[in-house]
Amino acid sequence: MEKDERDKWLEAGRVGKEIREYGISLAKPGVPILDIAREIEKKTSEMGAKTAFPPNLSINTIAAHYTPKAGDTILLSKGDILKIDVGASIDGYLSDTAATLVVGESENPLCRAAREALEKAIEQVKPGAPIDNISRVIEQVIRDAGFSPISNLGGHGVGKYDLHESGFIPNIGGHSSGMIKRDGVIAIEPFATTGNGYVTESSEIQILAFKDDKPVRSKLGRDILEFVKKEYNELPFAKRWIVEKFGKLSELELKTLVRSGAMMEFNVLREESGGLVSQFEHSILIDGDEVIVTTR
């Protein structure tokens, strides 16, 4: 791997770790999650990076893809299971990292199960090793703790301007025949739940991404599309960011852009049976025989 490329992966990881830990420090009972998201975004910019995706602040039964909306009024409550999933971009070189905390309380067994699954899984990361080794360890640690791994979520490859590159890393064993790449970045992210271990898409959508150039009739729609392409490339962005820049009417334009195929949506994911969910995640750089956890 070229030194410049390696340095940018490492810097993206360093920033990702800092903004994750900063988000954790802000999460207290009574704090608006919108304030936490904005502070994470501000900190990312101050560190010379861009967000790889909107800060995901998913509470309790929500597993992923919730970022605060414009005017969001949700306040954290003591005992909430809060997942903070963030990432940084350095010229398109990305990090993806997450941690879970119990708001206002110490770590509970559900959080500990996902954290320990991640640490044990990282021990399996070796160039050319079977991905299934990672999956089986994650499943075993979480089940031994008395919880269920979420079967339809998992880790993934990470590429330049590509947050979910090919190479899915399941959280249960027996579902991957792939091998760990010898050069590149992967993200491992165990999810543990008190429920049945399956997430479904809700109707709520707060995150989108550019998909393809399509003809756009309205000037506002064209302006939004050009802004998104220039500012975010193909990385996910928050609906809130567009509303705050272009005004309330932009919500309707985003729906039109989705229908045209110019944009894609990321539905908020909830645990199907109403179980509480915890998540931990690290990004890992593999450079020849060297394995580096960039977000630790």
Catalytic positions are 85, 96, 156, 164, 189, 281
* CA proximity to 194, closest of 108, 116, 287, 262: 108
Tokens in use for 111? Answer: 């959080």
Query: The sheet that has 93-94: what strands, in order across it?
Result: 50-51, 88-90, 93-94
Alpha helices in the chain (DSSP H): 3-26, 33-46, 109-122, 131-144, 219-232, 239-246, 250-260
Q: At what angle do helices 109-122 and 131-144 cross, to 10 degrees?
A: 160
Distances (CA, A) of 192 to 65, 154, 176: 16, 11, 19
- The answer to whether 237 and 245 are in contact (CB under 8 A) is no
Euclidean distance between CA atoms 9 and 158, whole angstroms: 10
| Residue 108 burial by Cβ neighbours in a 10 Å radius (0-12, 13-18, 19+) | middle
Which residues, other chains included, contact 126 with Cβ-Cβ below 8 Å and sequence gap of 6+? 180, 291
To which residue do tokens 């160039």 refer? Answer: 127
Cβ count near 245 (within 10 Å):
12
3-state SS assignment for residue 245? helix
- Find where tokens 């979520």 sit: 153
CA distance 196 to 237: 30
